[in-house]
Copies of this chain bind each other. A is one copy, B any other.
Amino acid sequence: MILAGELAAGEHLHEQALATRLGTSRGPVREAIRGLERIGLVVTVVNQGSYVRQVSEAEALELYEIRALLTGQSCAILARTVTPEQRRALRDLAQGMATAHEADDAAGYFALNRQFHEALLGFAGNARAARICGELGNELNLFRRRALSVAQNMRQSNAEHAAMLDAIEAGGPARARAAGERHIRGGKNRFTATRTISEAPDTGDLPQAGPNTARKQDQGRTTNGTIQEAPDPGGRRRPRAAERGGVRPS
């Protein structure tokens, strides 16, 4: 639900509501939340609840850097080890993305893009790196949402994919690595360029509190103590207040 955008970034996770919605009880929901917390999709404040993680721009840039490294390394490895079947599979995925782009099928494009990167990392033989890269991509989706569905960006991304494959097939490890890193950093730049679009809080139908509602907040001590990040619920903590008066102007 988080990745699908049904739960907005910063949104409070109401355990009972989720349980009834999923047709189960609070126990399984809590266990799931603990798992999401560990992979960084959710932040929990003791005695207050859990919130969908809000990725700051600085953090997003960090994630891009890690992905660039891992992707570049995978390309470098593939330049030496790629098999004809793998080449064909990657080319097919790239071709599929091109047609999806022409058909203006953003959803299909994203699915294929994910498969492409997953296959690339997987072929390189480091399953764990592939898993990490996928999780980082998930977190990035929390931030960028669909701000990247600009057609121009899709085309540019496709060109970079082709360059990566060319470098893998004929360029040698160093060039392949550079192409891989360039692609991710290109995505990073596209993200930075279109960031202002998603800057507007797009919480959909949720009532939105003002940016400086007085709140105790306790400086966000999380249960595992790793990410001391202010949850900033964004909307209401107690539904009652929002439903009755809406935003309380300080």
Contacts and interface: CB of A to CB of B under 8 A. Distances in A.
A63 interface: yes
Protomer copies: 2
Residue of A39, A59, A128 contacting most chain B CB atoms (<10 Å):
A128
Interface in A27-44: 27, 30-32, 34-39
Nearest to A136: B128
Interface residues of A, number: 28
A62 B127 contact: yes
A119 interface: no
Contact of A35 (B35, B63, B127): B35
Contacts of A35: 34-35, 37-38, 224
Nearest to A55: B128
A146 interface: no
A227 to B, nearest CB: 8
**Chain A binding surface, main DSSP class:** helix
Interface in A104-136: 125-129, 131-132, 136
Nearest to A129: B66
Contacts of A73: 65, 69
20 contacts: A27-B30, A31-B31, A34-B35, A34-B38, A35-B35, A38-B39, A39-B39, A59-B127, A59-B128, A62-B126, A62-B128, A65-B126, A65-B129, A66-B128, A66-B132, A69-B69, A69-B70, A69-B73, A128-B136, A132-B132
In the A-B complex, the 8 residue pairs with the smallest Cβ-Cβ separation, listed nearest first, are A38-B38, A35-B38, A31-B34, A34-B34, A34-B35, A62-B126, A62-B128, A38-B39
Interface of A: 27, 30-32, 34-39, 59, 62-63, 65-66, 69-70, 73, 125-129, 131-132, 136, 224, 226
